[in-house]
């Protein structure tokens, strides 16, 4: 910084190389000078191009097509090419690529020497050695970055038990400073993404606004996905396609906002850059997707909030900075030797190796922290992985460390947080008889206005507004009520959010369902790959998830083979896949029951005979042992739809779950891999107690083992352990199930949301409940008794 001021005072033409985020800080200083000075700014990436060559984004498209590689690989080649060029040592492959790009006028060589003649180059950060060598070779004076004058202020250190405690203590300190009149815009937070959700929670608790800057990739917007999908099916030249896309974008309306307008303009601008390409838009989908993935819309910069920023933010002297998560492993950033170029190759190209980059990261971190005048650092001693330790950088900072000791008296900056703390302490007292000394101080606070006694049991509520808004019910919602009334209340009436991550298993199930929806039109692996490409285009998956889905194609092919082979010899034909069904249901008000049936098959001669299949990517063996309590009743839910609203007089020959993905095939003595495979994909469910009817579903069910729980005795009769039913019995069970639905809805209308989790041999309502941390369960779970209406007893023979 001092070198920059000296250059300004001497009116020296200066080329400043810096992180772009720091540019405005330098410009402010320039504007403060009473005289004009010629200063230019470049970030490191721009400097590399200025020293070598520049290229348009369509160059990457050319490389991708010319070398028959994807856009990501083409990008890697183009990123490496300038370093070979600056070293004046192009290997044969890169020399041929360079010549081809020059021949097609896709690289524009730069004349750095004449363009910046007379300039001094000021580096504000460490750059690759090859850049220094090139600048020296061209005869430029280079001023290297210098360490800042170490601030004399102490560093305040917060030692926390875990991340929640850490964020809480930091917000206590922030609340104290705001109470003393500090401007909220002076306060900055530095933390990785694992802290962002906690910031949102504690921002609400302390009523202190925090802005987390989120640069959103263009490909994450639905409009971008729709545009790419339309390009995939539109024909015509680029001008014609762009005109149709423009009309679609202009007419697109989700909600009126400046962000939507900005998104529209950005998409059209990016597409316009490819207009004159020698390739049609449809042939550039991979490139467009990659480019949109790398291009982001920046978040709006808000006023009067605390900003979450990076360590490279241009801090001013009056900024008060909190760095969270300052643990070993997080600071400094450790660079591994896993780049496109190995460390050996980097040495030959005069680039920083992974070890040198780690050392540079350490140096820059110390540099950044030392330049912050008002600095507080926090770390935790526990993490989900076990014990955690502070970063060794603390020992190398040229500042005095002053540890802050948290005191309860400082934890009083949010009435709302006080109420929550008060309730928690009362809850502990009434449940366990443990009275905290802090309760007395809370009880003296008139602002809290809480009762002297506290009953932690949930009493429901009497406000009809919530129930009136509950106009649709799916099986998923009703199943949550079967599990526990309180869980239903929190999830579907209060809409209490839970931490939700789109897991690999979720994407796997969605992708398999997407393919199986059109399984009769799929003939080879290429067809499946096309579905996968579309799915990846429409969803943001991690590289791990993408790899997993690609690997799952082998199993998907096996499932398709199983299904098609079975149906080829069956008397049943496909009626419909993914049938969306709805049914009005009358109680105090009219509800619309909703569902989606994966597959319905219909007898080729007797159209009233049908059976249904629901796909599962997990356990498909679901006995109806607790049917009258609502458990495992999804297929009956669908049968009720079809009986009352779809078919006039349906005759159900079966209802099945089918496992379409299995993680592990357990080895069994005497069974081949193919046999174990078939067993994994069996249809598992209940069917008519009629051998002829069963053989119409699959005449080879015994030898091919395609129907689970369908054992046959030596005399040809079905075993008692077989999962079968009589037609009239099923009709009665459906009537009983309809009565159960009505009874359940009446309970919901009566605000019956007691905490009543169920427990049985294969059921535990609390096991996967997302609300366990806020549940006041203080009684045993309700044990269920078996009530399977199709139970036929035990077999006497084998």
Q: What is the dihedral of CA 243, 248, 252, 258, to 10 degrees?
A: -20
Helix (H, G, I), strand (E, B) or coil at 272: helix
How high is the pLDDT of residue 414? 59
226 Cα distance to chain centroid: 20
Is the pLDDT at 201 greater than 90, yes or no?
no
Q: Distance between CA atoms of 613 and 568, rounded to whole angstroms?
A: 16
Is there a contact between 330 and 359 (Cβ–Cβ < 8 Å)?
Answer: no
Structure tokens at 169: 């203590």
Q: Where are the beta strands (DSSP E) in 302-365?
A: 306-308, 320-323
Radius of gyration of the chain (CA): 34
**Rounded to whole angstroms, what are the CA distances from 292 to 60, 233, 394, 688?**
13, 19, 40, 54
Is the pLDDT at 32 greater than 80, yes or no?
no
Is the pLDDT at 794 greater than 70, yes or no?
no
Residues across the chain: 798
Rounded to the nearest 10 degrees, the angle between the axes of helix 525-538 and helix 222-233 is 150
Q: Distance between CA atoms of 377 and 711, rounded to whole angstroms?
A: 68
Confidence of residue 449 (pLDDT cuts 50, 70, 90): low
pLDDT tens digits for 638-657? 999 999 888 888 999 999 99
Q: Distance between CA atoms of 750 and 489, rounded to whole angstroms?
A: 12
Average pLDDT of the chain?
84
Structure tokens at 300: 């709006």
Q: Which has the minimum average pLDDT: 210-214, 508-512, 761-765?
A: 210-214
From the DSSP assignment, how many helices (H) and strands (E) are in the chain? 30, 27
pLDDT tens digits for 699-723? 999 999 999 999 999 888 899 999 9
How high is the pLDDT of residue 34? 44
* Spatial CA neighbour of 432 closest among 451, 448, 450, 456: 456
pLDDT tens digits for 353-390? 888 888 888 888 888 888 898 999 999 998 877 888 99
How high is the pLDDT of residue 658? 96
Q: Which has the minimum average pLDDT: 174-188, 246-260, 369-383, 472-486?
A: 246-260
Q: Which residues pair with 428 in a beta bridge?
A: none
Read off the pLDDT of each residue in 344-358 and give the average, rounded to a whole number. 87
Read off the pLDDT of each residue in 441-452 and give the average, rounded to a whole number. 60
DSSP state of 408: G
Confidence of residue 23 (pLDDT cuts 50, 70, 90): low
Q: Distance between CA atoms of 172 and 162, rounded to whole angstroms?
A: 15
The alpha-helical segments, DSSP class H, found in 517-578 are: 525-538, 543-568
Structure tokens at 274: 């490819």
How high is the pLDDT of residue 409? 40
Read off the pLDDT of each residue in 205-221 and give the average, rounded to a whole number. 80
How high is the pLDDT of residue 718? 92
pLDDT tens digits for 551-598? 899 899 999 999 999 999 999 999 999 998 888 888 888 888 999 999
Global pTM reads 0.52
Read off the pLDDT of each residue in 663-676 and give the average, rounded to a whole number. 81
Q: Which has the minimum average pLDDT: 121-125, 164-168, 375-379?
A: 121-125
* Spatial CA neighbour of 74 closest among 89, 86, 62, 85: 62
Is there a contact between 655 and 685 (Cβ–Cβ < 8 Å)?
Answer: yes
List phi, psi (to 5°) of 585.
-135, 120
The alpha-helical segments, DSSP class H, found in 116-237 are: 129-137, 163-179, 196-206, 222-233
pLDDT tens digits for 389-437? 999 888 888 778 888 766 444 444 456 667 777 777 777 777 777 777 7
Confidence of residue 36 (pLDDT cuts 50, 70, 90): very low
* Spatial CA neighbour of 339 closest among 686, 83, 107, 546: 83
731 Cα distance to chain centroid: 44
Cα diameter, the chain: 107
pLDDT tens digits for 83-100? 999 998 889 999 999 999
* Spatial CA neighbour of 316 closest among 67, 44, 617, 25: 25
Confidence of residue 252 (pLDDT cuts 50, 70, 90): confident
Confidence of residue 660 (pLDDT cuts 50, 70, 90): very high
How high is the pLDDT of residue 320? 94
Read off the pLDDT of each residue in 153-179 and give the average, rounded to a whole number. 89
How high is the pLDDT of residue 499? 59
């Amino acid at each position: 910084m001092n070198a920059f001021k000296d250059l300004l005072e001497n009116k020296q033409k200066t080329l400043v190389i810096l992180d772009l985020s720091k540019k405005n800080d330098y410009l402010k200083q320039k504007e403060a000078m009473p005289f004009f000075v010629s200063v230019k700014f470049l970030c490191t990436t721009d400097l590399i191009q200025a020293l070598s060559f520049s290229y348009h984004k369509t160059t990457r498209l050319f490389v991708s097509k010319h070398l028959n590689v994807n856009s990501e690989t083409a990008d890697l080649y183009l990123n490496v090419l300038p370093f070979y060029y600056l070293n004046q040592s192009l290997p044969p492959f890169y020399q041929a690529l360079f010549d081809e790009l020059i021949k097609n006028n896709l690289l524009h060589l730069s004349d750095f020497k004449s363009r910046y003649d007379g300039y001094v180059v000021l580096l504000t950060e460490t750059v690759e050695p090859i850049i220094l060598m090139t600048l020296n070779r061209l005869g430029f004076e280079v001023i290297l970055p210098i360490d800042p004058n170490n601030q004399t202020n102490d560093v305040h250190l917060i030692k926390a038990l875990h991340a929640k405690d850490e964020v809480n203590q930091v917000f206590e300190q922030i609340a104290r400073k705001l109470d003393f009149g500090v401007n909220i815009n002076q306060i900055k937070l530095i933390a990785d993404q694992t802290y962002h959700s906690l910031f949102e929670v504690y921002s609400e608790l302390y009523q202190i606004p925090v802005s987390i800057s989120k640069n959103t990739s263009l490909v994450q917007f639905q409009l971008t996905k729709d545009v790419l999908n339309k390009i995939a099916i539109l024909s015509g030249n680029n001008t014609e396609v762009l005109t149709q896309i423009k009309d679609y974008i202009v007419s697109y309306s989700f909600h009126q906002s400046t962000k939507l307008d900005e998104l529209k303009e950005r998409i059209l601008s990016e597409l316009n850059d490819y207009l004159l390409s020698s390739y049609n838009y449809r042939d550039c989908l991979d490139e467009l997707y990659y480019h949109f993935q790398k291009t982001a819309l920046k978040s709006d910069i808000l006023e009067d909030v605390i900003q979450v920023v990076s360590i490279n933010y241009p801090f001013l002297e009056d900024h008060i900075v909190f760095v969270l998560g300052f643990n070993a492993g997080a600071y400094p950033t450790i660079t591994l030797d896993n780049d496109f170029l190995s460390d050996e190759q980097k040495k030959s190209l005069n680039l920083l190796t992974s070890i040198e980059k780690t050392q540079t990261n350490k140096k820059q971190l110390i540099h950044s922290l030392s330049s912050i005048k008002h600095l507080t650092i926090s770390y935790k001693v526990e993490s989900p992985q076990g014990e955690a330790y502070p970063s060794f950088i603390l020992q190398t900072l040229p500042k005095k460390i002053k540890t802050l000791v948290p005191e309860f008296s400082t934890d009083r900056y949010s009435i709302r947080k006080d109420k929550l703390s008060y309730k928690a302490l009362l809850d502990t007292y009434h449940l366990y008889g443990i009275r905290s000394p802090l309760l007395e101080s809370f009880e003296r606070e008139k602002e809290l206005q809480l009762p002297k006694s506290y009953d932690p049991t949930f009493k429901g509520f009497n406000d009809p507004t919530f129930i009136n808004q509950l106009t649709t019910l799916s099986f998923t919602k009703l199943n949550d009520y079967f599990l526990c009334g309180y869980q239903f209340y929190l999830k579907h009436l209060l809409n209490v959010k839970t931490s939700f991550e789109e897991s690999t298993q979720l994407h796997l199930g969605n992708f398999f369902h997407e393919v199986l929806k059109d399984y009769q039109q799929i003939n080879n692996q290429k067809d499946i790959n096309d579905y996968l490409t579309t799915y990846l285009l429409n969803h943001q998956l991690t590289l791990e998830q993408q790899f997993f889905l690609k690997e799952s194609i082998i199993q998907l092919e096996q499932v398709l083979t199983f299904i098609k082979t079975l149906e080829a010899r069956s008397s049943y034909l496909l009626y419909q896949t993914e049938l969306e069904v709805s049914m009005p249901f009358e109680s105090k008000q009219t509800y619309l029951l909703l569902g989606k049936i994966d597959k319905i098959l219909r007898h080729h001669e007797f159209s009233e005979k049908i059976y249904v299949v629901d796909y599962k990517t997990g356990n498909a063996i679901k006995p109806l042992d607790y049917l009258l309590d609502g458990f495992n009743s999804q297929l009956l839910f669908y049968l009720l739809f079809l009986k009352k609203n779809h078919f006039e007089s349906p005759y159900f020959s079966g209802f099945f779950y089918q496992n379409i993905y299995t993680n592990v095939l357990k080895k069994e003595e005497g069974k081949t891999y193919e046999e174990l495979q078939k067993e994994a994909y069996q249809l598992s469910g209940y069917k008519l107690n009629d051998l002829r009817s069963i053989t119409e579903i699959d005449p080879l069910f015994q030898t091919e083992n395609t129907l689970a729980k369908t054992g046959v005795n030596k005399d040809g009769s079905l075993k008692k352990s077989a999962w079968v039913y009589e037609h009239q019995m099923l009709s009665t069970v459906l009537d009983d199930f309809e009565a159960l639905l009505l009874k359940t809805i009446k309970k919901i209308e009566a605000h019956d949301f007691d905490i009543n989790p169920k427990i049985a041999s294969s059921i535990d309502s609390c096991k996967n409940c997302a609300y366990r941390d806020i549940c006041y369960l203080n009684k045993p779970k309700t044990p269920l008794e078996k009530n399977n209406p199709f139970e036929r007893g035990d077999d006497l023979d084998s």
